[in-house]
Amino acid sequence: MKTIPKPNFTAWFVMQGFIAAMRHPDYRSISDPEMLGIYEKLAVKASKTRLVSRMIHALPYRLQYCIGELVTNRGRLRHFIFRKTEIRKQAAALLEQGKIKQVIVLGAGLDMLSLWLSERYKDIRCIEIDTSESQVFKIEALQQMLEVMPDRVEFIEGDLRNPLKAILSGSRQYDPLAKTLWIAEGFFMFIPEESVTRIFQEMHSASAKGSTVIFTTIPSKKITSAMGHVIQTLYLQKEKSPFNWVLPHEKVAEYIKSMGYYLVLQLPCDLLHKRYIGGKYKGNHNFAEDIHIANTPVL
């Protein structure tokens, strides 16, 4: 009997949380109806792959939102919408300049950013890398959802704890000389520090000078309430996706400098939330990921 491929648990959680946040009345104004439509179709398919996803998917969005925050922390679900909106804006602004010809998304999960970007920027090529469990599910789901598969987006299977160059050697469109936008959103915290460092070193030599990396970090493994931390730790262990690498945002500049990058922009998570909800923001920081944009020197 054919086994049904299932996406990585954390990829599903982010997608379902993102949908629940987009459906929340407070965040409707920053939701993109087109994106929401695509994600909802993907969520229907993902809901059939796990008991927990089936149960959550059957609930009204407001309840999904509350449960999502209960098992993580207050603000985490809206964080998905702010993080994704900001990364999409930053990526679009970089591509507008017309120099970047390749986008490579590491640990892409169920994210649809590369499809969105490739629709708007016709001269770019996108490559998504994730483990086979997520990729097989995503490709099969997209084949059923879309009339035509996007030919400028390539989905590659690979465990990124292994050398990036070997994974990219399986790509039909990867260009090591292209100015590249690398995106690692909600990903580095799941792999060991030595893999993160190796990936930064490899990205540097695997793309043209002046390439850019957008990435996120968590400041510590405990970014929830005490109860949320226990639930999260146990569940992530069960799903074989425990948090692994952490780095406070004030240490990021120094860390990447040692690998030849300089910081272009940093948006710690509290600043991100202030940016999107202004005066209504009543939070501490360190409850979700910080966003960073780094470049390699042009010369």
Ligand X SMILES: C[S@@+](CC[C@H](N)C(=O)[O-])C[C@H]1O[C@@H](n2cnc3c(N)ncnc32)[C@H](O)[C@@H]1O
Q: Which residues bind ligand X (CB under 6 A)?
A: 8, 10-11, 14, 107-109, 111, 130-131, 134, 159-161, 185-187, 190-191
CB closer to ligand X, 8 vs 90: 8
Whether 81 and 27 have beta carbons less than 8 Å apart is answered as yes
CB closer to ligand X, 208 vs 246: 246
CB of 83 to ligand X, least distance (A): 7
Tokens 């995503």 sit on residue: 138
In the complex, which residue's CB is closest to ligand X? Answer: 109
CB of 294 to ligand X, least distance (A): 17
CB of 298 to ligand X, least distance (A): 27
CB closer to ligand X, 159 vs 254: 159
CB closer to ligand X, 20 vs 108: 108
Residues 6+ apart with CB under 8 A from 160: 106, 107, 129, 167, 187, 191, 195, 199
CB closer to ligand X, 12 vs 261: 12
Euclidean distance between CA atoms 52 and 44, whole angstroms: 13
CB of 255 to ligand X, least distance (A): 20
CB of 297 to ligand X, least distance (A): 27
CB of 8 to ligand X, least distance (A): 3
Burial (CB count <10 Å: 0-12, 13-18, 19+), residue 294 = buried
Euclidean distance between CA atoms 194 and 189, whole angstroms: 12
CB closer to ligand X, 86 vs 99: 86
Binning the chain into helix, strand and coil, the percentages to the nearest 5 are 50, 15, 35
Q: Which two tokens stand for residue 22?
A: 């987009």
Which helix (H) or strand (E) segment holds residue 295: the answer is strand 290-295
